Structure 1
Amino acid sequence: MSNCWRSRRGTVFSCGFEPGLFSCFGVLLLTTHVLYGEANTNTSVVVQKDAQFDITYLDTVTSENQTIYAFNHTVSKNKTEGVRVSVELLSERPNGPVLFVVRQKQAVLSFQVPLILRGLYQRKYQYTQVGRTLCQPPTLALSEMQFFYVDVSTLSTSGVHYQLRVSRVESFTLQTDKKFTFNATPSQPQFFKYVFPDGEDTVIVKVNSQKNFPCSVMSIQDIQCPVYDLDNNVAFIGMYQTMTKTGAITVQRKDFPSNSFYVVVVVKTEDEACGGPLKFYSLLPDELLDAGNRSKTLDVVVSPAINSNVYIMGVLFCLGIFLSFYILTFLVACIENKRCAHGCCGLSPASPYEYGSFGELLGCVCVCVGGGGYIKVMALFYLYNKRISFALSLSERPLDVVGRCRQESLSSVEEDDYDTLADIDSDKNIVRTKKYLCVSDLARKDKRVLNKKYQIYFWNIATIAVFYALPVIQLVITYQTVVNVTGNQDICYYNFLCAHPLGALSSFNNILSNLGYVMLGLLFLLIVLQRDILHNRALMRNDTPALECGIPKHFGLFYAMGTALMMEGLLSACYHVCPNYTNFQFDTSFMYMIAGLCMLKLYQKRHPDINASAYSAYACLAAVIFFSVLGVVFGKGNTAFWVVFSVIHIVATMLLSTQLYYVGRWRLDSGILRRILYVIYTDCIRQCSGPMYIDRMVLLVMGNIVNWSLAAYGLIKRPNDFASYLLAIAICNLLLYFAFYIIMKLRSGERVLFLALVCILFTAVVWGFALFFFFQGLSTWQKTPAESREHNRDCILLSFFDDHDIWHFLSSIAMFGSFLVLLTMDDDLDTIQREKIYVF
């Protein structure tokens, strides 16, 4: 039996009459007539119907009638039952929308059909089929009967046909490790409930689909009403991320006081957010667009995450790997020191590589490369003076190149053989323009002055590190806070299938794996410190080999390299707090530093007097980082930027080539053009003569070919990842110079000692494996966050580390090995006089 209802338009009617209510009805009708005039034009008939689940109701609604469907169901405290309301508008062109209001005990849900959803540029898409899952309010009773009502109304004067169906949701409560498949559209979102089982504090929610588009959003929301499950409000609460084929969010129990949460999946109205095309429509005022078929089949599965024992194993594994290098270094030092204590080691008198039987000139020579490679040479007595030493070495050395070097060495030429000039021994223009240079020619400056010069490299990079790292740390903490507060998982490009949170950090494993850079950088500093201390002790004892033999020992650049490696670990960890397009420069800045310092160290080995100062070197590296920032901000698809950068790249390459070829004996002034034309006329036109410094010319020609090719590639391809492109330029130049150095070293009759050879081979192998894992590409900020997640993969080591973490492990070891190569590669020259060491 129907009851009296008050219409939303202010009139009252009854579907049936009872004797006791007749007079009441007459009074109310008279009052309504007085207040509103024509009652028959404003009345709305309200009809309430008892309805049942899983029955389709076909009905018509107009402005003059309103229908209420009454449903009831049993709600249990220990069981959640999902209820879904599905509506379809059958009229093709209704005069107005139909409003559906679902009234529950503690919640109200309303929506109109056709449903209007907005896209980019305020485009409006209409949907005539709408499906919504009701938010179930909690109950304190073990079991109770609850009612809810679906009100249907419209302001359309003509009848609007619709279809209504209320049904229970299958598998509304998700089970651990059980996959559930469902369909969703922009107007028919889906959400499910998950309750944490006992003993599980962290789970991973994975949503997958077989097709990329339409673009969709997955969200994790607390158990509260209303549930935000439309494209225009899904970002209001909880954690959310866009997805194409794959989405994954790690959920912790501590973030949800009710020990349960909703998994919400929404299909977006447009695909632009996922990197898809944006369709062209003619924009007319208030035009409603048909979005077409945007149905998407997805499956969801909730899996347990790792427990605290796996975290402990990951930390211990990481520490164990790098502490083993400390132990290995200590053992090598002990073995070498013990070997040296038992007697002489190193070059034998019968060795084909003796640089003039230097072993015979020193009654007993002990060469110890232990404990950081310390070379201790003890001369018991000299049999001959330097002139006899030179004569013997000149007759026995096989290579004529080094022979010519000796002949032109100022320290080994008889004074009677030439007319003496007052400045012949000091004028650097005369010394450095010789055709064949030896190390002694470029190691004339006071050692104390040079040591102070190169120590500035260390102090400067330490200062740079402090001023660079502090704002970086502050910024990434802000990034992480924004992610945690807003829940927007699209800000950071993690490998979400292997991102293990700890505290406020979303991906602790990616940060922990950078520990190797810091620990191995510190170990390298300790090794360099030991070498530095032992070398200074030798100088204090006035040991002749330390004063006159081998490559001049300057450790300032080595200290700077070790510090840069430690800072690379710190800044890489900061970058991985929230990796994205804007802070990738944090990860690459000190990579530029390391590449630049390694090239400077290679050049300093045989050019100690003319190597760049710390101020000019860091100024150039600052310019590189400046262009890196410009490339990130303006370089994407900007032709003008790439033209300017390519021109600067080529000009800088030519200027550096000139500096290296003339060993610094040229100047950039107003007369440079005239001098260039003169050289071209005399050496190329008037008479065709070859280059004076052939070895240098070969290196510089190869270097120019490589750099011009890289500049052309950048100008043509214009890669989006400008920072990596700039890093590739630095690495290519470093590898080219290193290969040239090794080749020239062997060509000059020098050799590589066993320890240095082991370091070279070991480092090459580790670099190969490291690059393999680097190019796995688990995420990329060159694409949209949704597209990046397509590259996500599960952990592959200890269920804790992914491919990129292994890249961190191996690359830190490879960088440490590369530094050891630079430190030990010229140890074979520690018993060779500097006027007999060739410069290249």
Structure 2
Amino acid sequence: MVLRSGCKFGPVLVWFRLGYVVLLWLCVTHLRCARAETKTVVQKDAEFDVTYNDTVTSDNQTIYAFNHTVSRNKTEGVRVTVDVLSEGAESSPILFVVRQKQAVLSFQVPLILRGLYQRKYPYAHVGRTLCQPPTRSLTETQYFFVDVSTLSSLGTHYQLRISRVDSFTLHTDKKFSFTASPSQPQYFKYVFPDGVDTVIVKVNSEMTFPCSVMSIQDIQCPVYDLDNNVAFIGMYQTMTKTAAITVQRKDFPSNSFYVVVVVKTEDEACGGPLRFYPLRPDELIDAGNRSKTLDVVVSPAISSDVYVMGMLFCLGIFLSFYLLTFLVACVENKRSVDRPTVVYRKPGVTPVSPYEYGSFVDNASTLSSEAITDSIASDANYRYMGQETLKRRPFLTAIHHVAIRIERSLESVAGRSRQESLSSIEEDDYDTLADIDSDKNIVRTKKYLCVSDLARKDKRVLSKKYQIYFWNIVTIGVFYALPVIQLVITYQTVVNVTGNQDICYYNFLCAHPLGNLSAFNNILSNLGYVMLGLLFLLIVLQRDIIHSRALDRNDLNALECGIPKHFGLFYAMGTALMMEGLLSACYHVCPNYTNFQFDTSFMYMIAGLCVLKLYQKRHPDINASAYTAYACLAAVIFFSVLGVVFGKGNMVFWIVFSVLHILATMLLSTQLYYMGRWRLNSGILRRIVYVIYTDCIRQCSGPMYIDRMVLLVMGNIVNWSLAAYGLLKTPNDFASYLLAIAICNLLLYFAFYIIMKLRSGERIQCMAMVCILFTAVVWGFALFFFFQGLSTWQKTPAESREHNRDCIVLSFFDDHDIWHFLSSIAMFGSFLVLLTMDDDLDNVQRDKIFVF
């Protein structure tokens, strides 16, 4: 029965419920219409520069109607200023809607702006500038309306004022001052004058805080002039005391743009302190007084003629080095043509050399007296005795050589002869490979070593070994540079598309764009590294060719005199200098902390190669292989990347790095002191304890190699001090700290080399001395410009811009560009020093050249 009745009356209940819903909807609609009929809408004809005091509730709405004449030849801004005078208006704000011909602007008062972590700041005083739609007629009357409404049933008292902004248009090279706050942003219009295609907009303030934003926007509505939307369009950058943006006409079809200045609600973006957290998520924070006085000036940028002059200036400086090098090469070539050479006469006959004049006595039995005299006279023209002396006194000269030969023979009784100490060792002199190793140990552990002791390996093998340095660095450079170029192009594209100029740390007061590049002058100034690196490669190639020709004609000086000439490391140094220029240019496409290692990676390479070249000069047989050297440099670059990512304030990283730094210094010191004649294995601790017991405890004996010990002790003091400094100070710029370690070690070893060279009775020739003095002076000036600090990514972009300065050379190059010029010249000079500093030994036999 229940089921049947339910089925019978079910449709009736459904229609009853539907009717109830319809009736309820009609009642609600009727109530809304009745309420709307009770709401009063009042429209008033209003005037400019009149303050209107009124009260608004949910029952009334006020519309203020304004009209003004707009002229195509004169632009005037219109500004709306609103104050809410009632207390507790945050819970029921007033809505202001400004209706214009082509735009609608709406905002509530109190204006709620959000900061970091969505903290809310209310502003009861609001001022906004209306955008100006373009007009085609000469004069036009435009109307706009201000609607004032609220949903609060309680009356809210407010003040409204509409005023004209007479100084709405900025003029070229004319400063204009104004005041802005987070709720009262300001913007002004600038029109490109005829003949000006690029301008620099500069905004300055005497106040560091509050933090502000300067934006460049196209002439369109709406204008984004609040902290929460200023980054939506155009170009923008944060600022404390200064900001500068270069604007090009081609980016603005209307030949005009807006300069918008917004004061931020918080200062964290500019490096200011982080304010307290609100107690409740919906709590409103009093922002306080955040008004800021600023001034803006728009100046024409440089013309295309300045670009051309800058390029010609850059090319002229470095091409002059090519010209000077060509002149010096011509002079040296003329001298080398006039200088005779000493060659082997025939196999089996020992040649006459400058240091063993008595060698001809061995063959005296096969030569006539006239042949002996002629041979002495002709060969001795090359050295010491002088041409006239040998020609006038051949008999006395022969007696002199005989005496020298007898003395040399007596000295050779206690040891090997010179010929045996060089690479002319027969295989029959050794029974097994172990004997050769034993002989190597004996030679390298002598108290006083000569270059001949460490130049016993085959020259062709060593030459191929050191050529690997060049080919490896070319390979490294190609595979390193390609992704770097791709990455910086992406950076530049992001900057151009988003307009966020806080991404890159330029010197904005001297950043000259060209095409899509924002700072072409900083890229152009790196040309010196490439051109001078190429010039150094040409100089090394010339020396390499001259040396090869001397070897082909069996020149005695090339075979047995001077420092062994291996040019692979020099080629690698020149290539590294060119790569430094390329990667430095890539870094300056968009300089920031994430790609700074691009600028420093090949600086590590250059420092390491210079140290290796200094060591190779006196230790050609035991210098590190290319694979080992580049593996160590790769480890350095790896730590550089880790330092950039994790090094800032991370004490664990600094402890690990300092420990590894000290251990690496100790291992390298041991390697250098024992000339590689030690082994790192399980017995190393036992051998260390034994050496300490025998040399320090059992008997106090001094070090066997005093000079090496002095160098290594000083090196350990310097490196341990740098490790302690890093552990205590934890510098933010880890890449520069790591580079400072490399440079300090290079300078220490170079100073030791020069001192030991002079102590050994060697001298520095005129050309090398000129290079040393010139390089030292240039390095001094270069470091002066380097430490000017035009920008720094260790701070926020706004703080970095406080260090920006104007151009100082040709209105095109700044201080950092001058650093690029001078440092490239100084590096080139440093390479020349390494290339020429031992030219005085080219005529000295290798068994007379000391190792240190």
Determine if contact 1:362/1:383 at 8 Å carries over to the other structure.
Answer: no
CA distance in 1, matches of 2:832, 2:32: 98
- Once the two structures are superposed, residues 186-237 of structure 1 have per-residue CA deviations (whole angstroms, 9 ceiling, x without a partner) of 0000000000000000000000000110000000000000000000000000
Determine if contact 2:557/2:842 at 8 Å carries over to the other structure.
Answer: yes
Task: Map 1:300-379; keep pairs closer than 5 Å.
Answer: 300-342=296-338, 362-365=379-382
SS in structure 2 of the partner of residue 84 of structure 1 = strand
- How much has 1:278 moved relative to structure 2? 1.0
The one of 120, 129, 134 aligned to 1:133: 129
Indicate the residue corresponding to 2:667 in structure 1: 655
- How much has 1:76 moved relative to structure 2? 1.3
Determine if contact 2:421/2:453 at 8 Å carries over to the other structure.
Answer: no
Indicate the residue corresponding to 2:388 in structure 1: none
Indicate the residue corresponding to 2:743 in structure 1: 731
Determine if contact 1:424/1:430 at 8 Å carries over to the other structure.
Answer: no
CA distance in 1, matches of 2:611, 2:402: 36
The one of 169, 187, 190 aligned to 1:194: 190
CA distance in 2, matches of 1:442, 1:407: 20
CA distance in 2, matches of 1:523, 1:589: 22
Indicate the residue corresponding to 2:698 in structure 1: 686
The one of 441, 449, 463 aligned to 1:437: 449
SS in structure 2 of the partner of residue 668 of structure 1 = coil
Which structure carries more helix by proportion?
A: 2
Indicate the residue corresponding to 2:508 in structure 1: 496
The one of 564, 567, 570 aligned to 2:576: 564
Task: Map 1:96-115; keep pairs closer than 5 Å.
Answer: 96-115=92-111
SS in structure 1 of the partner of residue 518 of structure 2 = coil
TM-score (normalised: structure 1):
0.89
CA distance in 2, matches of 1:85, 1:173: 18
Change (3 A) 1:667 1:69: same
CA distance in 2, matches of 1:394, 1:531: 36
The one of 47, 51, 57 aligned to 1:52: 47
CA distance in 1, matches of 2:496, 2:484: 18
- How much has 1:362 moved relative to structure 2? 4.8
CA distance in 1, matches of 2:750, 2:409: 29
The one of 265, 275, 278 aligned to 2:274: 278
Equivalent residue letter for 1:604? Q
Change (3 A) 1:101 1:648: same
- How much has 1:440 moved relative to structure 2? 0.3
Change (3 A) 1:664 1:111: same
Change (3 A) 1:394 1:772: farther
CA distance in 1, matches of 2:779, 2:56: 73
Indicate the residue corresponding to 1:238 in structure 2: 234
Task: Map 1:162-561; keep pairs closer than 5 Å.
Answer: 162-342=158-338, 362-365=379-382, 411=418, 423=435, 427-561=439-573
SS in structure 2 of the partner of residue 117 of structure 1 = strand
Indicate the residue corresponding to 1:26 in structure 2: none
Identify the range of structure 1 (497-506 vs 357-366) with the bigger mean alpha-carbon deviation. 357-366
The one of 767, 790, 794 aligned to 1:782: 794
CA distance in 2, matches of 1:394, 1:603: 33
Determine if contact 1:361/1:389 at 8 Å carries over to the other structure.
Answer: no
- Once the two structures are superposed, residues 767-805 of structure 1 have per-residue CA deviations (whole angstroms, 9 ceiling, x without a partner) of 000000000000000000000000000000000000000
CA distance in 2, matches of 1:133, 1:606: 76
- Once the two structures are superposed, residues 444-469 of structure 1 have per-residue CA deviations (whole angstroms, 9 ceiling, x without a partner) of 00000000000000000000000000
SS in structure 2 of the partner of residue 577 of structure 1 = coil
Indicate the residue corresponding to 1:695 in structure 2: 707
Equivalent residue letter for 2:158? Y
The one of 66, 71, 79 aligned to 1:84: 79
CA distance in 2, matches of 1:152, 1:587: 58
CA distance in 1, matches of 2:636, 2:462: 26
SS in structure 1 of the partner of residue 169 of structure 2 = coil
SS in structure 1 of the partner of residue 478 of structure 2 = helix
- Once the two structures are superposed, residues 650-697 of structure 1 have per-residue CA deviations (whole angstroms, 9 ceiling, x without a partner) of 000000000000000001000000000000000001000000000000
- How much has 1:364 moved relative to structure 2? 2.0
Change (3 A) 1:454 1:69: same
Determine if contact 1:390/1:412 at 8 Å carries over to the other structure.
Answer: no
SS in structure 2 of the partner of residue 194 of structure 1 = strand
Change (3 A) 1:485 1:34: closer
Identify the range of structure 1 (161-170 vs 447-456) with the bigger mean alpha-carbon deviation. 161-170
Determine if contact 1:409/1:437 at 8 Å carries over to the other structure.
Answer: no
CA distance in 2, matches of 1:299, 1:408: 86
- How much has 1:336 moved relative to structure 2? 2.4
- How much has 1:294 moved relative to structure 2? 0.3
Change (3 A) 1:703 1:200: same
- How much has 1:333 moved relative to structure 2? 1.1
Tell me the percent identity: 82
- How much has 1:120 moved relative to structure 2? 0.7
SS in structure 2 of the partner of residue 770 of structure 1 = helix
- How much has 1:341 moved relative to structure 2? 4.1
- How much has 1:638 moved relative to structure 2? 0.2
The one of 575, 579, 585 aligned to 1:573: 585
Task: Map 1:62-81; keep pairs closer than 5 Å.
Answer: 62-81=57-76
CA distance in 2, matches of 1:426, 1:319: 57
Change (3 A) 1:531 1:388: farther
Equivalent residue letter for 1:585? Q
Change (3 A) 1:50 1:836: same
- Once the two structures are superposed, residues 511-538 of structure 1 have per-residue CA deviations (whole angstroms, 9 ceiling, x without a partner) of 0000000000000000000100110111
CA distance in 2, matches of 1:744, 1:385: 32
Change (3 A) 1:385 1:605: farther
- How much has 1:138 moved relative to structure 2? 0.5
CA distance in 2, matches of 1:313, 1:188: 44
- How much has 1:360 moved relative to structure 2? 9.7
Equivalent residue letter for 1:72? N
CA distance in 2, matches of 1:304, 1:390: 82
Structure 1: unaligned runs, 5 residues or longer: 1-30, 346-353, 368-379, 396-402
The one of 798, 803, 815 aligned to 1:803: 815
Structure 2: unaligned runs, 5 residues or longer: 1-25, 342-353, 359-375, 385-393, 423-428
Equivalent residue letter for 1:76? S
CA distance in 2, matches of 1:658, 1:495: 46
- Give 1 or 2 for the bigger CA radius of gyration: 2
CA distance in 2, matches of 1:621, 1:33: 80
User: Is 1:668 the equivalent of 2:663?
Assistant: no
Determine if contact 1:561/1:598 at 8 Å carries over to the other structure.
Answer: yes
Equivalent residue letter for 2:588? H
- How much has 1:169 moved relative to structure 2? 1.1
What's the RMSD between the two structures over aligned residues?
A: 2.6
Change (3 A) 1:783 1:37: closer
Equivalent residue letter for 1:283? L
Change (3 A) 1:386 1:743: farther
Indicate the residue corresponding to 1:11 in structure 2: none
- How much has 1:412 moved relative to structure 2? 7.0
Change (3 A) 1:779 1:383: farther
- How much has 1:425 moved relative to structure 2? 9.9
CA distance in 2, matches of 1:409, 1:303: 80
Change (3 A) 1:485 1:341: same
